[in-house]
Amino acid sequence: MKAEKRRRWIVTGASRGIGLAVAKRALAAGDRVALFARSPAVESLAGELGENALGVPVDVTDPVDIQQALEKVTATFGGVDVLVNNAGLHRGGLLETLSDDDWDAVLNVNLSAPFRLIRALRPNLSAGSAIVNVGAVVGFRGFAGDSPYGASKAGLAGLTRILAIELARHGIRVNLVVPGFVRTAMTAAVDERASERILKRIPMRREGVESEIAEVVFWVAGSSYMTGAVVPVDGGLSANL
């Protein structure tokens, strides 16, 4: 039997939460993973994860930083097979109170950065490569006070479908995984009453677990005939809204 090829991953926002869970899942399969995160501490984190992990401090909103980080990964791994655009920023506010700075910051991290990463990495992606973007339920359903985050994730869904069409002729797949309510550092700011309201709308009546999202991201990255797909992992939340 032919041995399975070890894939080479880049995971953004990989120092914690869903990104770290995805990195651990890929490493558990024997793959090599470059963990992208803003904090320099990602280097020591990668050291703890083992020899197949590479920690790369990078600001994904900075094109120069992106290029330097990609050069480091391709020089170390010899190429990239999977890109997971997971890094995210959440800032909310109603229309009358939301600042331009908050709007711009969220769109830059959640939408512009994935576009720039994909564009910069494209020359290093060959047939069989996969891009997995991480969306959000709010990108498909409205929640008051969440306009920048919702708009950025809706835009990411559109970008996913468009690039799936553009890159299909090159054998590169692009899909969107949509987590539901998962308790991470980003959602920790949600107060208890709001959390209870969300949980009541989830048919499975519980939060998701980071490893559950990571398992789906891993599966989607390896699904050879899937592209342009939107894959909810939300306990039924989007079906019940």
The predicted-structure confidence for 84-137, as pLDDT tens digits, reads as follows 999 999 998 999 999 999 999 999 999 999 999 999 999 999 999 999 999 999
Residue 236 lies in a domain: no
Q: Which of 9, 36, 149, 181 is catalytic?
A: 149
d(CA 27, CA 22): 9
- Would residue 89 count as lying in a domain? yes
Q: What is the pLDDT of residues 14-42, one digit of tens each?
A: 999 999 999 999 999 999 999 999 999 99
Any idea what the CATH number is for the domain that residue 97 is in?
3.40.50.720
Q: Which tens digits make up the pLDDT trace of 36-64?
A: 999 999 999 999 999 999 999 999 999 99
The count of domains in the chain is: 1
Domain residues for 197? 8-229
Q: Residue 145: inside a domain, yes or no?
A: yes
Least confident of 78-92, 169-183, 191-205: 191-205
Model confidence band, residue 181 (pLDDT cutoffs 50, 70, 90): confident
User: Would you give the distance in Å from CA 185 to the centre of its chain?
Assistant: 15
Mean of the per-residue pLDDT values of the chain? 93
CA-closest candidate to residue 11, choices 228, 235, 210, 233: 210
Query: Taken in order 70, 164, 141, 25, is the CA torsion positive or negative?
Result: negative
Give the whole-number percent of the chain exceeding pLDDT 70.
Answer: 94
pTM, 2 dp = 0.93
What kind and span of H or E run contains 101? Answer: helix 100-107
For residue 56, the model assigns a pLDDT of 98
Q: In this structure, what token pair is assigned to residue 202?
A: 């989830």
Average pLDDT over residues 199-221: 92
In this structure, how many other beta carbons lie within 10 angstroms of the beta carbon of residue 57? 16
Q: Please give the structure tokens belonging to residue 59.
A: 């600001």
**Active site annotation includes 149:** yes
CB 46 within 8 A of CB 55: yes
